Amino acid sequence: MLKTVAIIVVPNFSIFEFGTAFEVFGINREDRGTGVPRFEFRVCTPVPGDVPMKSGLSMHVDHGLAAADDADLVIMAPFGRDQDIPEPVLEALRAAHARGAWVMSICSGAFALARAGLLDGRRCTTHWHYSQELASRYPKVCVDENVLYVQDGTIISSAGTAAGIDACLHLVRIELGANVAAAIARDMVVPPHRDGGQAQFIERPMPTCGSAPMEALLRWMVENLEHDHSVNELAARMHMSARTFARRFRAETGATPAAWLNSQRVLRAQELLETTELNIDEVARRAGFGHSVLLRHHFAKALDTSPQSYRRAFRGQLAEVG
C-alpha cells in the first residue's frame, strides 16, 4: 500500500513540477472524510541544506538520500538536462526499483532514470521538447512523446508540467482506487482521469472544445452513453447538417463522433470495473457497448488488455487496501 513518498531534488530543480507531486502526496486530507490516507512525504537530496531551484529561489532540505531507502514511491524531480547527475542519486533510484518500490519521473527527471539504466528496453515519456534528445542520448529507451505519461512495470514517467499531476493520480488510482484519486482531484480542482486515445496505462489529454454548445453536447453524450447516438441525431441537436456537424465535431475534439463515444465508453467501463462488482455483461450495457463482445473488442483495442485482466489488476490493489 502506498504510504511513504520520497522526492529527490538536485540543484536547478523545477519548483512547479515539484509542487505537483507535493500537492498530491504532501497535503494531509484525512479530515475531508473521503478515505484519503495521510502520506508521509519526504524531500531528499544528496547533500542536505539549501538547494537552488531553476527559478533562482532555494529550498532548505533536511533529508539526505537515505530518506528514500524505505519509501513506497521514489520520485525524481526535473532538473537541468545538461547537468551531471550525482552517482548517489542514480544508486538511490536503482535501489528503489530493485526492492520493488514505485519509481516515477516528472518531465526531465526521466533523464536520471535513463542514466541509471532503469529505462533500458522500456517505454517512457518526457516533455515533448526533450523527447528527441532523450531518445538520442539513450538509444535503448523507447520514448513516446505523444502521451501524458507511461507506466511500464513499477516505473512511471510523465510529460512536463501538469502531466505530473495525471501521473501521480494514476498511481493513486492503482494503489488506493478510483474514489480516493477522485477525492484528491476534486480537492485540487483538476480532472481525476484524463482520457483520449490510449494504450494500456497510457493517457492523452481530454479533447478541448472551443464552443459552449459543443461542450454541452459532449456532456450530454457522456451522460447518455448507454444510448445509441447517430450522426444525424447529434447534428439535429446542434441544428446542423450531418456533414457540417461531423466536420465541426472532428475539428473540436480531434476524433469522429463514434471514436469519441467509444473512448468515453471505455473510460466508463474502467470506472465500473474498478468500483463495482457488476458482471462483464452489465458493465458492457451500462457503458453503452450493449454486449460483452463489443466491450472486450474496444477494451483490447484501446488498452491492450481484457476487462477481466483490468479488473484483476485494479481490484487486486483495492482488495489489499481493504
3-state SS, the chain, equals CCCEEEEECCCCECHHHHHHHHHHHCCCCHHHCCCCCCCEEEEECCCCEEEEECCCCEEEECECHHHHCCCCEEEECCCCCCCCCCHHHHHHHHHHHHCCCEEEEEHHHHHHHHHCCCCCCCEECCCCCCHHHHHHHCCCCEECCCCCEEEECCEEEECCCCHHHHHHHHHHHHHHCHHHHHHHHHHHCCCCCCCCCCCCCCECCCCCCCCHHHHHHHHHHHHCCCCCCCHHHHHHHCCCCHHHHHHHHHHHHCCCHHHHHHHHHHHHHHHHHHHCCCCHHHHHHHHCCCCHHHHHHHHHHHHCCCHHHHHHHHHHHHHHHC
Q: Which range scores top for mean pLDDT: 88-92, 146-150, 170-174?
A: 88-92
Residue 202 located in a structural domain: no
The verdict on 183 and 221 lying in the same domain is no
The reply to whether 124 and 235 lie within a common domain is no
Least confident of 151-155, 302-306, 313-317: 313-317
CATH assignment of the domain containing 275 = 1.10.10.60
Residue 301 lies in a domain: yes
Kindly state the percentage of the chain with pLDDT values over 70: 90
If asked whether residues 36 and 111 sit together in one domain, one would say yes
Number of structural domains (the chain) is 2
The answer on 240 and 211 residing in a single domain is yes
| Same structural domain, 33 and 181 | yes
Averaged pLDDT, 170-185: 88
Per-residue confidence (pLDDT) for residue 198, from 0 to 100: 37
Whole-structure pTM over 0.75, yes or no?
no
Examine the fold and report which residue of 188, 216, 248 is the final residue of a domain before the chain moves on: 188
Boundaries of domain holding 102: 4-188
| Residue 198 counted as domain residue | no
The answer to whether residues 294 and 246 belong to one domain is yes
Examine residue 199 and state whether it is found in any structural domain, yes or no: no
pLDDT in tens, 250-293: 887 778 999 989 988 998 898 888 788 899 999 999 999 999 99
